[in-house]
């Protein structure tokens, strides 16, 4: 049964001549799981918001949007509970201070009776397994828990359609998979219609019924996932957001059915390529003699009563090296970076930057021509009302970065996209002319294209001799970028190695490509590694020639 | 809700409280019970006036954006004690009143007083502070076309209302200290001079520093999101 | 089995209004004394009695208020001694003491009250007057820890951007203002997401209802009725007689009515304490059976 139908929808923001959305027509059946993808700025978010009456942006809307065969623009048609909407940021979507109040909020708004609200909350809390949070303050929850709460607070209104606008982009991979799994469960168990956009499509594409690709405000294609992903060959911007199996399929010029997840990807490889024990030739690891950043047996805790966050942490990063610290959320990675950058002082142990104790850098000399730090929340860098003012002393750096900064100069920093915001902040930080750059979770909240661009920037910085130390839980990004990686667990680095060895040694904490090629090829970590190996071992009877 | 969920009852209260109950309390307090009752009268009248103002605002529909801005400003009042001793409550209340309106100004002032007393201690003074700060915000909203003319008018308004606030709180101190008398009041005012000076000074400084950038930020938000 | 602590917050609030209202409204040293004892006992029972700083503060306040009256007011006939040719009278000293009792007991009652009421309960009481104010209150409480967290992040970032010089106060203040400014922009810009999230969940569509976790149980109703009946007794008996300080102290004669009044007030101020004790005993008894 058709639940949502969009007929010849066009939309233009006020004061803009070109339409952001053009001739959009499609329909969605009840119970479908639809994934909407496309490069940043293609109009995904605008389209999603147009479907939700209360969130429609101001501007010129033409065409019709029918929900259950009724035009949603009719004044008396209230779809606030029938269409649920979950947004990106876990923190800002929460309205009230306690979990119970947050769950009740929507039901209060639609004027539901108290007894009924109590019942609904009991149901939803039990279903989501969050009864034990009931009395908690929302500030005590983790990012993933907050997002689950946001989902529950929308689901409590029993919507027919659930719209999710990049719901996991601020979460770590574990929390993101949990979240997507919950959405899938809702879709399967209640035949809830789901329309979702995501930066990371690894988990989403395989469970979607249909995929829609938008490009410059138009529908490029809309159909079965394996069909759609095999069509988007030419637009490489989209490819990098796809699951690794899809990327591999395109990289080796695959034909026929496109694999979507690791299992299919493995089958695809086995069917088309021969196993091999010969690994790719690797450059021997050589490092400079001088140590850029050294942490020696560092202990740290935030207050006397709290447990140690860093516990015998030692680390040596050589000059000119790109070093990634990987680990799960809340393990203390960010704190480690805070110690390295002199924000916090350890209670025991030594931290040296270029051989000199961090404490001996007086009067900010550490932050001039020496060390710079790009935080996870890049908004903390911005002070001014326009990008131009923000970059007053950093224009030189900004022009070196691969983006069109002039177009942005008159904009407010908060009006930029995630990727642009990050580049502006990076330019500003680089104007300190650092020899060491510290990056905290640099891929959080940015799309695949920006990620790729960031990887190139880091490589360019390396070529200029700048040492880069980053913490992340994005294994694909680390595999693409790092010279060496360290695994951070319980307050210290438990293992470290050059990137390729590091990921091939890990069984669980590794890239999808590595999991796909386990015991088939050795040391294939990135899509390009694997493609290269595949092309050397083509199976005669396979479809790839 | 059991107490006043009924809109009819709410309406009745809205009329009887200002026109019947408050005058009656004052009358009873001053003429029937002979001693000390001004203490109780002042307390009761304040509480009732506060309830009246707050529930009066409830009739008007407020958009979610305006509500969010009010809560953000309230939270900033509490978080903004970044310079020791100095509190930005008056300054932020005034700024909110001017740019977002009297209603928001009242809510921010009153709620900031309530929440800030969670940290510094609730007491019988809480309702007085809530009403006083609320009114500073309300009047800032009502006078906003005049206040918007110059930053210095805003600074003057904040400083003067802050001083009046202190002087009124001194009346209250004296009332609690054993009955009103001119000497006692004078003594209280003199004793409170350091506090009043710090308080006025902090209002002045905060308004000088904050009124322009905060005004810009709030105006941008209003423009961008059509509040 | 519900203690006073767990009673319906509206019943609790009204109870506190009765008790403090009577203390403020009726100026009778005996009532003030009863009120003070009740408040002191309850503050020891309900757990915030260990706060020695509070007791000290109250003591200082008590002495100050008790002494300031005889120094300023020279009414009364029984002169005790002279200071700078001004008579210090027994009456005005006692008046001051009585007043000090009143002040300190109100303070104790308030501290007990804020000890019992957390933000959820306050929200519930508040919300009965204005759901809107209650919502803003709840949202502000949500924002405070969020903003606190952010200001830490901002400070860390700005530190690495060379914002602070070592040990320069002016520089520190300038830095703090800058941080506050960043935080405000952040809060306001991101606040729009909150507003969207509210609208998306139907805020502003119609009349809101209010969900609470509190109900009126029989014992709350009993508490409410009991305390209002006792309060009426106290007031009725107290209006009948006057305690006169000036020019000479004239204590009203003890009559049946006044005794009823005092006893009623005594019971009223002890309700919470008795309730806590009762539950404590019942729980012990129950535990011995388990």
Cβ atoms of residues A192 and A31 within 8 Å: yes
pLDDT at C268: 92
Q: Of A184-188, B61-65, B211-215, C104-108, where does mean pLDDT reach its minimum?
A: B61-65
> Does the pLDDT value for residue B5 go beyond 60?
no
d(Cα A479, Cα A466) in Å, to the nearest integer? 19
Measure A104 CA to nearest chain B CA, in Å.
14
pLDDT-based confidence at residue C120 (cuts at 50, 70, 90): confident
Q: Is C177 on the interface with B (CB under 8 A)?
A: yes
> Does the pLDDT value for residue B2 go beyond 50?
no
Domain ranges of chain C: 4-120+214-289, 123-200
Residues of chain C contacting residue B111, judged by C-beta atoms under 8 Å apart: 133, 136-137, 140
**Nearest CB partner across the interface for B209, out of C144, C177, C216:** C177
**Nearest CB partner across the interface for C10, out of B3, B69, B82:** B3
pLDDT-based confidence at residue C164 (cuts at 50, 70, 90): low
C98-to-A298, A302, B172, B179, C26 alpha-carbon distances in Å? 62, 49, 18, 12, 12
pLDDT at A191: 92
Q: Of A223-237, B131-145, C108-122, where does mean pLDDT reach its minimum?
A: A223-237
> Does the pLDDT value for residue B222 go beyond 80?
yes
pLDDT at B1: 30
pLDDT tens sequence across B71-123? 999 999 998 876 666 788 899 999 999 999 888 999 999 999 988 888 777 77
d(Cα A496, Cα A485) in Å, to the nearest integer? 6
Measure A426 CA to nearest chain C CA, in Å.
12
d(Cα A181, Cα A207) in Å, to the nearest integer? 9
d(Cα B195, Cα B189) in Å, to the nearest integer? 10
d(Cα A63, Cα C145) in Å, to the nearest integer? 44
Q: Specify the length of chain A in residues.
A: 545
- Tokens 């396979």 appear where? A542
Q: Is B107 on the interface with C (CB under 8 A)?
A: yes
**Nearest CB partner across the interface for A96, out of C139, C207, C212:** C139
| % of chain B surpassing 90 pLDDT | 22
Can you list the residues of chain A whose pLDDT is less than 70? 233-236, 545
> Does the pLDDT value for residue C128 go beyond 50?
yes
Report chain A's mean pLDDT, rounded to a whole number.
Answer: 90
State mean pLDDT over B166-192.
Answer: 77
> Does the pLDDT value for residue B3 go beyond 60?
no
Residues of chain B contacting residue A58, judged by C-beta atoms under 8 Å apart: 226
Q: What ipTM is given for this predicted complex?
A: 0.86
pLDDT at B170: 82
CB contact burial C19-50 (16+ within 10 A = b; e otherwise): bbbbbbbbbbbbbbbbbbbbbbbbbebbebbe
pLDDT-based confidence at residue C65 (cuts at 50, 70, 90): confident
CA atoms within 13 Å, Cβ hemisphere of A44: 25
Per-residue DSSP letters for A112-177? --HHHHHHHHHHHHHHTT-GGGTT-BGGGS-HHHHHHHHHHHHHTT--SEEEEESTTTTS-HHHHH
CA-closest candidate to residue C219, choices C289, C278, C285: C278
Backbone angles phi, psi at A310, to 5 degrees: -110, 130
3-class state of residue C79 by DSSP: strand
Q: Specify the length of chain C in residues.
A: 290
Cβ atoms of residues A525 and A511 within 8 Å: yes
> Does the pLDDT value for residue C239 go beyond 90?
no
Report chain B's mean pLDDT, rounded to a whole number.
Answer: 81
Nearest residue in chain C measured CA to CA from B106: C133
State mean pLDDT over B44-54.
Answer: 82
pLDDT at C112: 87
**Nearest CB partner across the interface for C147, out of B67, B79, B218:** B79
> Does the pLDDT value for residue B32 go beyond 60?
no
State mean pLDDT over C12-38.
Answer: 87
Q: Is-cis flag, bond preceding A73, omega within 30?
A: no
> Does the pLDDT value for residue C1 go beyond 50?
no
CA-closest candidate to residue B36, choices C206, C215, C32: C32
State mean pLDDT over C220-244.
Answer: 86
User: Are C153 and A375 inside 8 Å of each other by CB?
Assistant: yes
pLDDT-based confidence at residue C230 (cuts at 50, 70, 90): very high
B55-to-A468, C134, C210 alpha-carbon distances in Å? 57, 11, 15
d(Cα A361, Cα C33) in Å, to the nearest integer? 64
pTM for the structure as a whole: 0.89
Q: % helix / strand / coil in chain C, to the nearest 5?
A: 75, 5, 20
User: Are B216 and A385 inside 8 Å of each other by CB?
Assistant: yes
Q: Give chain C's count of helices (H) and strands (E).
A: 9, 2
């Amino acid at each position: 049964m058709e639940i949502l139908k969009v007929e010849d929808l066009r939309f233009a923001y006020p004061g803009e001549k070109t339409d952001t959305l053009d001739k959009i027509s499609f329909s969605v059946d009840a119970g479908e799981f639809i994934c909407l993808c496309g490069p940043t700025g293609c109009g995904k978010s605008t389209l999603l918001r147009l479907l939700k009456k209360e969130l429609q942006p101001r501007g010129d809307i033409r065409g019709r949007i029918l929900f259950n065969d009724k035009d949603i623009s009719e004044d008396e048609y209230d779809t606030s509970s029938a269409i649920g909407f979950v947004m990106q940021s876990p923190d800002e979507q929460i309205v009230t201070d306690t979990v119970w109040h947050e769950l009740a909020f929507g039901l209060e708004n639609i004027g539901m009776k108290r007894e009924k609200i109590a019942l609904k909350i009991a149901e939803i809390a039990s279903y989501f397994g969050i009864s034990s949070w009931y009395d908690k303050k929302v500030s005590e929850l983790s990012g993933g828990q907050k997002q689950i709460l946001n989902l529950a607070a929308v689901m409590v209104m029993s919507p027919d359609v659930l719209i999710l606008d990049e719901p996991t982009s601020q979460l770590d991979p574990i929390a993101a998979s949990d979240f997507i799994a919950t959405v899938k469960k809702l879709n399967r168990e209640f035949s809830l219609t789901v329309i979702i956009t995501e930066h990371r499509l690894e988990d989403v594409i395989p469970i979607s019924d249909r995929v829609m690709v938008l490009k410059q405000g138009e529908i490029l294609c809309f159909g079965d996932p394996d069909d759609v992903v095999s069509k988007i060959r030419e637009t490489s911007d989209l490819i990098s957001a796809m699951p690794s199996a899809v990327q591999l399929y395109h990289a080796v010029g695959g034909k026929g059915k496109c694999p979507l997840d690791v299992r299919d990807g493995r089958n695809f490889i086995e069917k088309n390529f021969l196993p091999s024990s010969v690994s790719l030739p690797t450059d021997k690891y050589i490092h400079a003699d001088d140590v850029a950043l050294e942490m020696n047996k560092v202990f740290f805790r935030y207050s006397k009563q709290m447990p140690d966050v860093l516990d015998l942490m030692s680390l040596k990063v050589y000059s000119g090296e790109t070093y990634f610290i990987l680990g799960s959320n809340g393990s203390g990675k960010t704190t480690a970076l805070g110690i390295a950058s002199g924000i916090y002082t350890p209670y025991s142990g030594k931290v040296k930057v270029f051989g000199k104790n961090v404490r001996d850098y007086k009067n900010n000399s550490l932050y001039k021509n020496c060390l710079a730090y790009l935080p996870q929340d890049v908004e903390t860098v911005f002070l001014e009302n326009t990008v131009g003012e923000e970059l007053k002393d950093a224009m030189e750096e900004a022009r070196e970065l691969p983006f069109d900064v002039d177009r942005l100069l008159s904009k407010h920093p908060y009006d930029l996209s995630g990727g642009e915001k990050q580049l502006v902040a990076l330019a500003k930080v680089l104007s300190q002319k650092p020899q060491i750059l510290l990056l905290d979770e640099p891929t959080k909240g940015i799309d695949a294209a920006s990620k790729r661009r960031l990887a190139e920037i880091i490589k360019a910085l390396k070529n200029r001799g700048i040492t880069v130390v980053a913490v992340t839980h994005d294994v694909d990004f680390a595999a693409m970028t790092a010279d060496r990686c360290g695994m951070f667990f319980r307050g210290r680095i438990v293992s470290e190695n050059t990137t390729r060895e590091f990921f091939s040694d890990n069984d669980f904490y590794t890239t999808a490509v590595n999991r796909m090629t386990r015991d088939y090829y050795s040391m294939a970590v990135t899509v390009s590694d694997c493609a290269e190996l595949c092309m050397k071992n083509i199976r005669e009877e396979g479809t790839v020639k | 809700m059991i107490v006043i969920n009924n809109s009819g009852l709410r309406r009745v209260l809205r009329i009887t409280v200002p026109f019947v109950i408050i005058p009656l309390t004052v009358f009873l307090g001053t003429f029937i019970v002979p001693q000390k009752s001004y203490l109780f009268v002042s307390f009761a009248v304040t509480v009732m006036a506060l309830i009246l103002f707050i529930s009066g605002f409830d009739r008007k529909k407020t958009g979610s954006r305006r509500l969010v801005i009010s809560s953000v400003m309230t939270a900033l009042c509490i978080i903004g004690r970044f310079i020791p001793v100095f509190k930005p409550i008056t300054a932020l209340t005034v700024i909110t009143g001017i740019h977002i309106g009297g209603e928001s100004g009242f809510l921010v002032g009153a709620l900031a007083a309530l929440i800030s007393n969670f940290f510094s201690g609730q007491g019988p003074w809480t309702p007085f502070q809530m009403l006083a700060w609320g009114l500073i915000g309300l009047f800032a909203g009502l006078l906003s076309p005049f206040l918007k003319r110059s930053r210095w008018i805003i600074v003057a308004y904040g400083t003067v209302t802050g001083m009046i606030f202190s002087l009124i709180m001194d009346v209250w101190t004296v009332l609690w200290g054993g009955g009103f008398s001119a000497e006692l009041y004078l003594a209280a005012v003199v004793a409170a001079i350091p506090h009043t000076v710090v308080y006025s000074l902090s209002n002045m400084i905060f308004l000088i520093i904050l009124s322009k950038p905060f005004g810009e930020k709030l105006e941008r938000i209003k423009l961008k999101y059509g509040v | 089995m519900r203690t006073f602590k767990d009673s319906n917050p509206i019943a609790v609030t009204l109870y506190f209004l009765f008790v403090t209202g009577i203390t403020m409204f009726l100026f009778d040293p005996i009532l003030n004394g009863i009120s003070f004892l009740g408040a002191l006992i309850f503050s020891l029972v309900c757990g915030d009695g260990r706060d020695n700083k509070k007791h000290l503060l109250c003591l200082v306040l008590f002495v100050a208020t008790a002494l300031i009256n005889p120094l300023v007011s020279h009414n009364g006939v029984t002169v005790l001694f002279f200071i700078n040719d001004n008579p210090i009278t027994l009456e005005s000293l006692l008046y001051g003491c009585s007043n000090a009792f009143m002040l300190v007991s109100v303070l104790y009652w308030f501290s007990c009250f804020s000890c019992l009421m957390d933000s959820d309960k306050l929200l519930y009481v508040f919300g009965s007057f204005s759901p809107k104010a209650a919502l803003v209150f709840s949202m502000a409480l949500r924002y405070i820890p969020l903003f606190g967290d952010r200001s830490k992040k901002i400070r860390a970032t700005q530190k690495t951007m060379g914002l602070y010089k070592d040990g320069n106060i002016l520089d520190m203040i300038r830095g703090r203002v800058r941080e506050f400014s960043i935080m405000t922009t952040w809060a306001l810009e991101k606040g729009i997401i909150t507003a969207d999230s509210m609208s998306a969940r139907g805020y502003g569509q119609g009349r809101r209802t209010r969900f609470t976790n509190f109900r009126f149980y029989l014992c709350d109703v009993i508490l409410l009725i009991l305390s209002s009946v006792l309060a009426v007794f106290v007031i009725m008996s107290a209006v009948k007689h006057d305690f006169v300080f000036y020019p000479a102290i004239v204590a009203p004669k003890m009559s049946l009515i006044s005794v009823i009044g005092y006893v009623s007030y005594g019971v009223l101020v002890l309700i919470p304490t008795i309730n806590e004790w009762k539950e404590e005993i019942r729980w012990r008894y129950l535990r011995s059976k388990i």
